[in-house]
Amino acid sequence: MEDHPWFRLAEVCGSEASVGKTLAERTGAGADQFSSATQGLELQALDGPWTSSILLSALPSEAAQKSEVQLAEAGHLVVSNASSHRMGELVPLLIPEVNSHHLDLVGHQPWKGALVTNPNCAAVGLVVALAPLHETFGIESVVTTSFQSISGAGLPGPPAASLVDNVIPFIGGEEHKLTCEPQKILGTVTPEGVEPATFPVSASCTRVPVLDGHLLAVSVALTGKPSVEDVTAAFEAYRGPDACRDLPSAPEHVLQVLAADDRPQPRLDRDLGQGMTVSVGRIRRCEVLDSKFFVLSHNLVRGAAGAALLNAELCHAQGVLGSG
């Protein structure tokens, strides 16, 4: 948020134990990344009062379930990274370069303000890769396995010893998100909400000893069984809707094809587009379905903070603002 052309950080929230302390006190050694004004912001209680028109929420899911609706009812635009309301019928689940038109749903929401969400940190990379394939050919089914970084578990994360010389083949609740969020994002807006895309997704999620970046192996069945060359061309041509081109946080390329046989790799490619570009590689024929590839996204940027900020920018550009 420092030096953002449209927004400034004006208010911050903390746990009950943090209320009244400054942001610098709570972030410790990381405070030097903030301006002196930001460092001096005092953390306030979740129940406010809040004066900002736009509130960025990274609340735990249980707290978000109730509080985000209350904040929207009070007139704020709530841009949420929490999972609580992602599948709500009238709540947009947004990736601006994929489904910016889903923002139309807020006009049907019952609150004085509005609530929008961004996807799960692994689903976002998957969907950015699926979008050009669904648009160009039509997707019939998807099978994916994720290799998700340590940072995706939050703090303090899994015990270090459990990830040394190891892969954990389970992440609680994650596979469900990968099997239902893509269809909503790639669905069709109706007056009653979103009619999801009909293709099934089978997902297996793992935690791997990588600091940042979620890598997914993806196999897809596509209508018409297009060639590898046609699939690659669809990836390379994808730009997304015009509505997001001039947003400050939007990368030059939302999706970048990497030609080398051993890419994408988290350490080498997660920071493309300042962490906002999704990379895809190893595009080839699938022996079971039609095509398969690897896709990589930065889970803390494109999959979390950067996603929420980009959604806030889209709302601002489209005139969807809270009253504060």
Q: What is the DSSP string of 54-117?
A: EEEE---HHHHHHHHHHHHHTT-EEEE-SSTTTT-TTS-B--HHHHGGGGGGGGG-SSSSEEEE
Answer yes or no: is 43 within a domain: yes
pLDDT digits (tens, 9 = 90+) for 152-185: 988 778 888 899 999 999 999 999 999 999 999 9
Answer yes or no: is 4 within a domain: no
Go through 143-181 and write b for each residue having 16 or more CB atoms within 10 A of its CB, e for each that does not. bbbbbbbbbbbeeeeeeeeebeeeeeeebeebbebbbbb
Could you check whether the bond before residue 49 is cis, i.e. omega within 30 degrees of 0?
yes
Give the integer Cα–Cα distance in Å for 99 and 128.
10
Go through 294-312 and write b for each residue having 16 or more CB atoms within 10 A of its CB, e for each that does not. bbbbbbbbbbbbbbbbbbb
Q: What is the mean pLDDT of residues 249-268?
A: 97
Looking at residue 243, its pLDDT comes to: 80
Whole-model pTM? 0.96
Name the strand (E) or helix (H) holding 235.
helix 228-237
Q: What percent of the chain has a predicted confidence (pLDDT) above 90?
A: 83
Is the same domain home to 113 and 127?
no
DSSP 213: -
Is the same domain home to 135 and 34?
no
As beta bridge partners, residue 258 has: 281
SS3 153: helix
Answer yes or no: is 7 within a domain: no
Q: What is the mean pLDDT of the chain?
A: 94
Which residue among 76, 85, 102, 214 is the active-site one?
214
Higher pLDDT, 29 or 93: 93
- Report the CATH number that the domain containing residue 71 is assigned in CATH: 3.40.50.720
C-alpha distances out from residue 157 to 64, 162, 296, Å: 21, 11, 21
- Is residue 31 over pLDDT 80? no
Task: Verify whether residue 176 is a known catalytic residue.
Answer: no
Looking at residue 182, its pLDDT comes to: 98
Looking at residue 242, its pLDDT comes to: 84
Is the same domain home to 40 and 82?
yes
Q: Among the listed ranges 12-16, 149-153, 317-321, which one has the minimum average pLDDT value?
A: 12-16
Is the same domain home to 133 and 113?
no
| Domains identified in the chain, total number | 2
Is the same domain home to 310 and 265?
no
Q: What is the mean pLDDT of residues 105-123?
A: 96
pLDDT digits (tens, 9 = 90+) for 48-83: 889 999 999 999 899 999 999 999 999 999 999 999
Is the same domain home to 154 and 245?
yes
- Report the CATH number that the domain containing residue 246 is assigned in CATH: 3.30.360.10
Answer yes or no: is 6 within a domain: no
Domain encompassing residue 272? 123-298
Is the same domain home to 132 and 90?
no
Q: What is the mean pLDDT of residues 308-320?
A: 96
- Is residue 322 over pLDDT 80? no
| Nearby residues of 206 by Cβ (< 8 Å), 6 or more positions away | 145, 146, 147, 148, 167, 168, 169, 170, 171
- Is residue 323 over pLDDT 80? no
Is the same domain home to 135 and 103?
no
- Is residue 248 over pLDDT 70? yes
Sequence-ordered strand ranges (E) for the chain:
12-13, 43-44, 54-57, 77-80, 114-117, 139-148, 188-190, 193-195, 201-207, 214-222, 255-258, 278-285, 291-297
- Is residue 29 over pLDDT 80? no
pLDDT digits (tens, 9 = 90+) for 182-213: 999 999 998 889 999 999 999 999 999 999 99
Give the integer Cα–Cα distance in Å for 217 and 257.
15
Task: Verify whether residue 180 is a known catalytic residue.
Answer: no
Looking at residue 324, its pLDDT comes to: 66
Work out the end-to-end distance of the chain between its first and last CA atoms, rounded to an integer number of angstroms. Answer: 19
Which residue among 76, 85, 102, 121 is the active-site one?
121
Answer yes or no: is 80 within a domain: yes
Answer yes or no: is 5 within a domain: no
| Nearby residues of 61 by Cβ (< 8 Å), 6 or more positions away | 82, 83, 84
- Is residue 100 over pLDDT 90? yes
Give the integer Cα–Cα distance in Å for 123 and 203.
10
